[in-house]
Amino acid sequence: MALELSEKIKLLPGKNNGKYPYCHSLLIEDGLIALIDPASDPDFLKELANSKKVDVIILSHYHEDHFWFSHLFPSAQIWAPELDAPALESLERLLDEYQQTGEGRKQWRKILLDHFHYQPRRVSCLLKEGGQIFLGKTEIQVIHTPGHTPGHSCFYFPEPDLIYLSDIDLSKFGPWYGDRGSDIDAFIQSIKRISEFPAKTFVASHEQAIYQDSIKKESEQYLQVIEDRETKLRALLKEPRTIQEIIDARIIYKKPREPKSFYDFGEWAMMTKHLQRMMKRGEVIEDSGKYYLSL
């Protein structure tokens, strides 16, 4: 069921409380009808596709849990961040961004095609920091918030003083930064920037959707997850560890989960970012395939 946020903006809650592979979407009905991140409720979106002409799909970034049901709107223009556009226009580029090779690449190609209905779509409007979108009387300001993906963006609506946070989702799981172009430090700066943003209403794309007046407390908790992960990795690296031993420590997902290959990859992708960050600071040394603290 759609929730009215203003006269022209509705929240479309994602199935299963917007947990992956769903997300919360926004529907804007003005001079143009636009959908932001259409991966919420397939039944509602199918009904919408049959009842109205959606002019524009606005994507905050290239992840499948945000573009999932775009295929229901084949005539809609795609507007997306400039840095993420190549992955929306090419499946092979998307798989590159996901760091998939070998058998994993084959599996993900099939999942993206068969389950998420990936279709290469030309991005007709490239969104950048400070860009303004007008859908009639409704104005949207683009805020580039990299780290999750290179182009990840939030969207601010001056009227009704609302900001869509996309995957700065403030969830208990914490930030995801496992793609090729993900960057922990950039993500931290993006979270801090958004936490200071003076909006009345904040809308996240997963789990709890709506926050009022401030997200400073939630942002601090969200940032703390990054620190907690690194603290646990630091303790682990008091002794030399292989990447497999780091994966097996389950710092990200807390415990073994199935399918094992999927969660092993997630541990590898995220922990690799932490290792790179710590090595850049001179805190960690790699020697003969083992990592350990330099101090």
The answer on 108 and 136 residing in a single domain is: yes
Residue 6 tokens read as 């203003």
pTM of the model: 0.97
Distance CA 227, CA 250 (A): 15
Band of pLDDT at residue 18, cut at 50, 70 and 90: very high
Chosen domain end from 220, 247, 269: 220
Q: Quote the distance between the C-alpha of residue 40 and its chain's center.
A: 14
Is residue 152 located within the same domain as residue 271? Answer: no
Statement to judge: residues 120 and 10 lie in one domain: yes
Whether 162 and 23 share a structural domain = yes
Of the candidates 170, 186, 220, which is a domain's last residue?
220
pLDDT tier, 121 (very low <50, low <70, confident <90, very high otherwise)? very high
Domain, as residue range, for 247: 237-293
44-78 pLDDT, tens digit each: 999 999 999 999 999 999 999 999 999 999 999 99
Question: Do 272 and 251 meet the contact criterion of CB atoms below 8 Å apart?
Answer: no
Report, as an integer, the average pLDDT of 150-163.
Answer: 98
Q: Taking residues 134-150, what's their average pLDDT?
A: 98
Q: What is the residue-averaged pLDDT of the chain?
A: 97
Instruction: Kindly state whether residues 93 and 209 are assigned to the same domain.
Output: yes
Q: Is residue 144 part of a domain?
A: yes
How many folded domains does the chain comprise? 2
Query: In the listed set 161, 187, 220, which residue is the last one of a domain according to the structure?
Result: 220
Same domain? For 109 and 40 the reply is: yes
Adjacency order of strands within the sheet including 153-157: 132-134, 139-144, 153-157, 162-166, 201-204, 210-212
pLDDT digits (tens, 9 = 90+) for 248-292: 999 999 999 999 999 999 999 999 999 999 999 999 999 999 999
Residue 228 domain-assigned (yes or no): no
Q: What is the pLDDT of residue 116?
A: 98
Backbone angles phi, psi at 45, to 5 degrees: -70, -35
Q: What is the pLDDT of residue 295?
A: 77
pLDDT band at 13 (very low <50, low <70, confident <90, very high): very high
Cα 48 to Cα 63: distance, rounded to the nearest angstrom: 22
Please list the residues that pair with 291 across neighbouring strands. Answer: 241, 286
pLDDT, tens only, 199-240: 999 999 999 999 999 999 999 999 999 999 999 999 999 999
The mean pLDDT of 97-124, rounded to a whole number, is 97
